[in-house]
Amino acid sequence: MSKPKTQLQHIIEPAIIPNESPSNRPKKNTEDVITQWSTAIPEYQTYKAGTFEYPVGSFYDFPAGIKMIIKQNGEEREVMDSCEAPWSLLTARELSDGFKKGPLKIIECGFGLGILSTAMMWELAGIPSDKPHEYYIIELNNEVVKQAQQWAKNIIPIILRMTPPGLPHIKPPEIRITIIHGEASTELNKLAQSPKQKDTIDLIASDTYPVETTTKGLNDLGSLPAVCALLKPLTGRFAYYPYTPGPQREIQRIQEELVDNFFRKSTKNWADVNPNPDYQYLRKEDGLPVRRLKVMVCKDPYK
């Protein structure tokens, strides 16, 4: 039974209805932004470990890491930094928590540095299954797609060599990885229209980037009808990246109201992070680094 639509749901729906007729196609500007993002060459900056000192005298150490940047209209966008790994690891843990047996079918939107994907492989390798687990990654950027393909070739033997928890004596499950080269909302909508995929997905994780600045904070939530259509009733779960730079309260209220319209339950947790202070994306309004990131997992989708 589906929940009555709220005003908010009506507001987001026009942007997520599949684009069959010319009048429903994404606006020219959106198409341009998406094309630009897909062809941009990502840059990777490594940095050394260091210490951040607060004005009051306390401090924290941050580890060496890597930052991924994509240029948009000449401006450098900080897309991902390895300091966010604790968020990716806890998200993978919370998403797959409690699944005792496979096969699981999973969709991840936005490969980035592949940290969440790798963490999910580790979790999946610990869930026994007679049939292969299926893992789909949707990525928009051409170069990142190539890296995801390379990653997919190498990761399984590495993970399986590490004997994941719960599997010391049993045959490790097979994991089939498929990289889908495309825009997350468009691809999710396409998948949701396929009777083969509808109601079959166990987990969806979305950590994209607001390639259109107007979607800031909502870029992972623009396809919730498709997400809910794809997820299995009752057991299907969805995770998104809730943090957005700038004032938090209003955007978080909107995010939570949105997901409440599509899911009966959710769990909230926090991942501690020690960001390199040069990573502007994780700077609060007061200029100080963000020290914890919210991990949200939405459960029991409305159908």
Ligand X SMILES: C[S@@+](CC[C@H](N)C(=O)[O-])C[C@H]1O[C@@H](n2cnc3c(N)ncnc32)[C@H](O)[C@@H]1O
Catalog residues that contact ligand X under the rule CB under 6 A.
79-80, 88, 109-116, 138-141, 144, 183-184, 207-209, 211
The C-alpha atoms of residue 192 and residue 136 are separated, in whole angstroms, by 14
Q: Report the residue number whose CB is nearest to ligand X.
A: 112
Nearer to ligand X, 186 or 261 (CB): 186
The C-alpha atoms of residue 184 and residue 136 are separated, in whole angstroms, by 11
Q: How far is the CB of 76 from ligand X (least distance, A)?
A: 14
Nearer to ligand X, 80 or 175 (CB): 80
Q: How far is the CB of 92 from ligand X (least distance, A)?
A: 9
Q: What are the Cα distances from residue 48, in Å, to 81, 136, 277, 283?
A: 13, 33, 12, 19
The C-alpha atoms of residue 301 and residue 303 are separated, in whole angstroms, by 6
Torsion of CA 90, 94, 95, 97, to 10 degrees: 130
Minimal CA–CA distance to 143: which of 111, 120, 115, 183? 111
Q: How far is the CB of 113 from ligand X (least distance, A)?
A: 4
Nearer to ligand X, 84 or 134 (CB): 84
Nearer to ligand X, 112 or 236 (CB): 112
Nearer to ligand X, 218 or 228 (CB): 218
Q: How far is the CB of 4 from ligand X (least distance, A)?
A: 29
The C-alpha atoms of residue 241 and residue 260 are separated, in whole angstroms, by 16
Q: How far is the CB of 250 from ligand X (least distance, A)?
A: 22
Q: Do β-strands 65-72 and 43-47 pair in parallel, antiparallel, or remain unpaired?
A: antiparallel
